[in-house]
Amino acid sequence: MMYKSVKLLFLFILASGFAGIAAQTIDPANILIREAPEVERVCTFEPTDYNADRAIAHTDIVGRRATNRRTSSFNVTYQNACGTETWPPEALAAFEYAMSIWETHLESTIPVEIEATWRELDANVLGSAGPTRIAQIPPVGDEDTWYSIAQANAMTGEDIKQSAGVDYDIVININCAFADWYFGQDSNPPANMIDFVTVVLHEIGHGIGFIGSMGADEDVGVADWGFESSDGQNSPIIYDRFTEDGLGISLINENVYGNPSSDLYDALVGSANGVFFDGIDANIVNLGSPVRLYTPFPWQGGSSYSHLDQNTYGDSENALMRPALDRQFSIHSPGPVMCGMLSDMGWPLGENCFDLIGVESIISVDQTLLNFGVTNIGDGASQTVTIRNDASALDPLSGRIVIENTNFFVTESLRSFSIEPGNSLNIPVGYSPETVAIHDTELVLFHNSSSQPNPLRISLKGEALEENSIFALDQNYPNPFNNQTTLEYALTGTSDVLLEVYNTTGQLVTTLVDSQQGEGRYEIFFDASGLASGVYLYRIIVDGEANTRKLLLVK
């Protein structure tokens, strides 16, 4: 399928975390939306024949810290495709209850819209689900990376799917022919029954972005990944960026795993010591180790890769995203590992997810603006921002840095970080201008702390002049002007500056500047209220080099 370029021309409101709101114009040519993979490829949730006799609620994990404060909202439209059968009333109530649980674990200003269909599925399938669309959202998200549309909405604060003419973020199918549903909301399914709330929570989990792009043909033993971007190349979904084999090699490293290749297929079915999700926050709540994913042999479409390992997570507090659900088992919580994975992928979290991952880090940064001053093309400048995790924090501070402007950069090895309590990290930010212009962007700092808005945003500013230029003189503004105008110029270093105004006969009218000035941009106010209308000249001399421009006074 071809990508879809969405023609948006608006001001994005970048909202994420607990109150971080800023405005930034995004080039509409960079916003891509395309169809997501079919839901059967993402998830086909199955029952087991085992009676677990186990119930796990959010309060069982975090105790009194659990909150009912909703930091997102979920809406659902119910469809019927089961002959004359319609949704049982108790199923509707259970579905609404499951959505209310997710509403306390995520944060988004944009409601998550779900289309849920009551239909007959294969006999051993409880449900299937996935996002309706995926999106690339620079400069908010990782470059050349796809996100579920629900996550894209949450990260930008805009309902992006509307631009593609889509009504829903998530589609969910529930098997109307399955006979052993338990629709209660008390986490107490009887023997041989499947907890409906757990199934809905699981399917919503896939819809918000617990999906990878890996696919395989088990008949020939070849696997591939990615969705086509504007440059014709395949780009991963954000989930893919954290996956690796048992040796710590990224599955999207094409120097090791061709795309497509039989080597990749072998890795996905466990031949390289398993497949893992290796994210800072997920690892913290997974006893410090990467999260094992489901890798059956042969490949099982709808189960492999985009689920946690069935055996590793058993009936634990992290069991929600296993590929099969035990009978007489309920888990009414995403669980710490899933919340950690969502955090690593950049999902803005609600309080209950923060409680589940137990991240009590306390972030601070020493600057909110890095001004690189004036330099030349071919030269560079550097500034440093210091990120600190307070000594009173109980957990490591982890995060990642995104800068979507090629004139500014952070060394690759420092784009992701982890800081122990009481420690700080100095992050050098480079400015290497490619064009003559005033450059203005943001360093976006995603982090796992609830003590500050997420992400934090640090303004980056710099100006570049032509190679070897020591100054630039701009046209005054306004021009023509009535009595008052502003003259601007920029210096690449400390210089002797003389700025004067002359009339057209060459007579000196006034001297505005006659001093030594340091590198930077300057604004000089000129009051011509005592002069007659006409053309005037203003001349700047910087270390012996001169430039002259005209200004027009009209009264």
pLDDT, tens only, 371-387: 999 999 989 899 999 99
Distance between CA atoms of residues 283 and 275, nearest Å: 14
- Strands (DSSP E) contained in 45-110 are 46-57, 74-81
What is the pLDDT at residue 25? 45
Q: What is the pLDDT of residues 493-507, one digit of tens each?
A: 999 999 999 999 999
Q: Is the pTM of this model over 0.85?
A: no
CATH class of the 363-465 domain in this structure: mainly beta
What is the pLDDT at residue 17? 32
What is each CA distance from 245 to 224, 249, 267, 552, in whole angstroms? 15, 5, 7, 69
Q: What is the pLDDT of residues 218-264, one digit of tens each?
A: 999 999 999 988 777 899 999 999 999 999 999 999 999 999 999 99
Nearest to 388 by CA among 412, 408, 409, 417: 417
Beta pairing partners, 511: 500
With contact defined as beta carbons under 8 Å apart, do 176 and 128 qualify?
Answer: no
What is each CA distance from 227 to 146, 169, 240, 293, in whole angstroms? 8, 18, 11, 21
With contact defined as beta carbons under 8 Å apart, do 55 and 36 qualify?
Answer: no
With contact defined as beta carbons under 8 Å apart, do 29 and 6 qualify?
Answer: no
Domain extent listing, the chain: 37-129+159-357, 363-465, 473-553
| Structure token pair of residue 197 | 């709330």
Neighbour tally for 374: CB within 10 Å: 25
For the range 86-95, what are the long-range contacts, defined as Cβ-Cβ under 8 Å and sequence gap of 24 or more? Answer: 86/118, 87/118, 88/183, 90/183, 90/184, 91/118, 91/174, 91/181, 91/183, 91/196, 93/183, 93/185, 94/183, 94/184, 94/185, 94/196, 94/197, 94/200, 95/196, 95/200
What is the pLDDT at residue 465? 96
What is the pLDDT at residue 39? 67
- DSSP SS3 for 259: coil
Judge if 363-465 and 473-553 fold alike in CATH terms. Answer: yes
What is each CA distance from 287 to 53, 56, 238, 385, 423, in whole angstroms? 26, 20, 23, 31, 22
Polymer length in residues for the chain: 555
Distance between CA atoms of residues 160 and 153, nearest Å: 6
Q: Which CATH number fits domain 473-553: 3.40.50.720, 2.60.40.2550, 1.10.3720.10, 1.10.10.10?
A: 2.60.40.2550
Residue numbers of the chain with a pLDDT score lower than 50: 1-25
